[in-house]
Chain A
Amino acid sequence: MATVPQTLSSTTELQSGQDLPIQVGGGSRLNHLKTLEAESIFILREAAAEFSRPVMLYSIGKDSSVMLRLAQKAFFPGRIPFPLLHIDTNYKFPEMIEFRDQYPKQIDAELLVHKNQEALNAGANPFVLGTQKCCGLLKTKSLLDALVEGGFNAAFGGARRDEEKSRAKERIYSFRDLHGQWDPKNQRPELWNIFNSKIDKGESIRIFPLSNWTELDVWMYIYTENIPIVPLYFAKERQAVVRDGTIVLVYPLDQLHPGEKAQPIRCRMRSLGCVPCTGAIRSDADTVPKIIEEMISFRRSERENRAIDHDEEGSMEIKKREGYF
């Protein structure tokens, strides 16, 4: 790797206007995680500076945890200058709620929690409605309502482009119309790291600081930065049933199907969603390095255990068009 020693970059002896040699390998001393970190911090600061009312969608998962740490870094030694928002479907794992109620407080971040109480009162649940409709009401609708109610015109999300193929096409600043909808065929071009934050009243931008991170990057970062995560990510013996080949953890909120019987299974969650719709995987990985080791040997992508993505070819794109993160 040909690099010019950094000492050449010293400016002290250089005169203004002088022709300077091309700096080969400038910045390449940063490893890929530090490069990604610098880019994400840039995005967070840029949006916080340009939007009057930003908010960070906080899903309590590993990606949110990384995004939160990046926000701490971006505004250090100050507080994070925007609130966190959790869309609580009422079907989240109790361990997630416990974590949510502790960690943001610990780092002095403001947390807002929003539920679609109307739908919940009307008895919305995935067993009756199916995952599509349930997600639409308890997540998408709830999110859009929360954004409107809070007057938020920019919302950070922890989505990564490597998660799903419609996300691969999404901008870092993803424009949403008055109804919070995404129009994939009519996206603003996004060049260099220059972001267009111009919107009219009622419109908003979803901002994805982790766009260029992969699942491996996220875990490597959690490892090197020692970032706290929900214990459900670590393997442990848990009460579960095997349903259509998926390991479903048993909680009071869930309903056992006829003939099902809970049994202890050593398992962990690879991604966190709602109790009835997020499956666990059999695993012995009870530390972050073990999770990374296990992940690398995986040949299955992380959202595979999420029912919502598999309803229909392109189902994520459809949901995103409707306003889903």
Chain B
Amino acid sequence: MSPVTGIGVRNDFSEFLEQNLNKELLRFTTAGSVDDGKSTLIGRLLHDSKTVYEDQLASVKKSRANRSTGPIDFSLITDGLRAEREQGITIDVGYRYFTTARRKFIIADTPGHEQYTRNMATGASTADLAVILVDATKGLLPQTLRHTYISSLLRIPTLVAAINKMDLLDYQERKFRELERDFLALAESLGIKAVTCIPISALAGDNVVERSVRMPWYTGPAVLEHLERVPIARPVSTLGVRFPVQYVLRPDANFRGFAGQLAGGVIRPGDAVTALPSGQTSRVHSIVTYDGALPEASSPMSVTLTLEDEIDLSRGDMLVSSANLPHASQRFLSTVVWMHAQSLEVGRSYVIKHCARQVRGRATVIRHRVNINTLEPEAAESLHMNDIAAIELETSGPLFFDSYERNRTTGSFIFIDPLTNATVAAGMIRENLSEKSRISAKEQILHSQTPITPLERHQRHGHYPAIILVNARASLAGRLERALFEGGFEAIVVRENSSIPTTKHVWRGLHAAGFVVIYHNPSLSAEERLDLQSAATHYFVDLAEVELPVADAEAVERIFTLVEPLRIPPRQGKSKRVN
């Protein structure tokens, strides 16, 4: 299969367009030590897939800093900054693009020097695959271990080890097999399963785009061939919907839509969703896009959702499947990569940005730092540039997350220094450290420290509480209870019972719970009556003081009209359908 983009021979152009629209996107990162030939490999991928344009090549050829001894120094194609060309090194993450007949590729080209670990983590954060360069003449170096470790840390699902400079070893199979064995063992020890080793010469072009005739003993694919065919395993493993709300769209009074990018799962109109942190539930009414309403949306689509009910939801909140909730917690264990010259101070407050949410957070404990050369844990009191560590974090408000292993979007966050505004670290959540390992929305409510206000209770009942004294006509109590109950009131009769002389606590409790208490006590003292009267926060009536019709039914009807004004009208817009 030719990797060349385009129509080549003039076949049907619409066929080409069709094919081009069916391409997938594969993001990969490259890592290698200084002089491993990484830039040369990328340059060759770009060049040999015919996407390096002539004039770019021409400008490389005339460049003053051309340090090539061969015909073209491909590394000059990728090293874009003046300092890089002058010093002959790659400083910063550079992004490169090329396309073949099967896929569009985005390369995050990251520097291999020790002091730039943060750049490797940056490039790895969005990668589906990593190409790790190994200089066959030098074998596996400490840097190889580091790059492979960072790849595993950032959960890049697929690795390619490009065993380079095979030309300098006369294309011998023995050396390649040795390195392959060592690399597979390394990857396995880090829990990476999808690994492919390919013997190449980036400089000579062996096994980069075309399979090499100089290594007939190797029967696997060339690098580009592999990149085109390897399954894209996206580590989005929570199957529940994760929809961080980015923006609330309210173009007019009739429309309230929640805009965001699905960070996990598949969503359809009618699906039950829970809003975090409120815990309120609703159903998806519609999936709105510029191109029309959709019957379904999946990660990573950017859409706008409308809900059946008007619930509390704004930027920074998250809509999730009611049947599959994320963790909601303010304490968690995470792996961090420290990226700034100013070191981490335990206990200091940082801004944590997680999905669309910003909270304050502080490290409470550094459990250990990872020795990047041995991968052994070691004690640390603070973290410096390029340190990788396991730390315990506490945030000012809850985050709604999955472990990074399960979801790279809801499991990742950054640290921002509140004084300098610098991004100082990247974090990957490992586990929830709150008492319960996984808190459902229901449980979250059980754990809530917020006291319930009387008004909340009254709104739930739909009316304010009252105390009705019925000593004069005891026969009315039961009828009244039934009538009020049927009329939508929470009403209950409390009768003085000499065997349990605790009635005061009972009516007080029921009144505080928001009930309409119908109180009957034939031996009520004046003091007690005053007590009742002053306890009633909204309405107190002694039926002995009301002129009532003789017939019980009519009397009940009359009392009902007295209670009627206690009703709380339903909140505007509550359960109103949102278009």
Contact = CB atoms under 8 A, between A and B. Distances in A.
Interface of A: 1-2, 6, 8-17, 20-39, 41-42, 45-46, 48-49, 72-79, 161-162, 164-169, 184-185, 187-194, 196, 198-200, 211-212, 214, 216-217, 220, 223-224, 289, 292-293, 296-301, 304, 313-314, 317
10 contacts: A6-B298, A20-B239, A25-B233, A26-B236, A26-B264, A27-B234, A31-B24, A75-B259, A168-B94, A189-B339
Residue in B249, B257, B271, B289 whose Cβ sees the most chain A Cβ within 10 Å: B249
Contacts of A33: 21
B423 A77 contact: no
Nearest to B316: A49
B324 A11 contact: yes
Nearest to A2: B231
Interface of B: 5-7, 13-14, 16-17, 20-25, 53-56, 59, 63-64, 77-83, 85, 91-97, 99, 103-104, 106, 118-119, 121-122, 125-126, 231-241, 246-247, 249-251, 255, 257, 259-261, 264-266, 271, 288-291, 298-302, 304, 315, 321, 323-325, 339, 351, 353-354, 356, 406, 408-409, 412-414, 416, 418, 421-423, 426, 438, 440
Contacts of A73: 289-291
A78 to B, nearest CB: 4
B573 to A, nearest CB: 19
Contact of A1 (B91, B231, B249, B412): B231
A289 to B, nearest CB: 6
B265 A49 contact: no
A35 B25 contact: yes
Given A9-B239, A78-B250, A217-B104, A193 B25 contact: no
Contact of A196 (B91, B240, B288, B421): B421
Given A23-B234, A73-B289, A12 B53 contact: no
A28 B234 contact: yes
B335 to A, nearest CB: 13
A76 B97 CA distance: 30
B414 A196 contact: yes
Contacts, number: 263
A45 B93 contact: no
Given A11-B265, A296-B5, A161 B97 contact: yes
B270 to A, nearest CB: 11
Given A16-B323, A199-B421, A299-B53, A166 B80 contact: yes
A161 B21 CA distance: 21
Nearest to A6: B266
A262 B298 CA distance: 56
Contacts of A31: 21-25
Contact of B271 (A11, A37, A72): A11
A77 B251 contact: yes
A198 B421 contact: yes
Given A28-B234, A191-B412, A168 B239 contact: no
Given A25-B234, A48-B247, 4 more contacts: A14-B323, A73-B289, A162-B97, A196-B416
A78 B249 contact: yes
A74 B302 contact: yes
Nearest to A203: B421
B234 to A, nearest CB: 5
B300 A30 contact: yes
Residue in A28, A75, A79, A293 whose Cβ sees the most chain B Cβ within 10 Å: A28
A211 B20 CA distance: 20
Contacts of B235: 22
B255 A168 contact: no
Given A32-B104, A41-B302, A217-B104, A192 B125 contact: yes
Contacts of B238: 20
B412 A194 contact: yes
Nearest to B339: A189
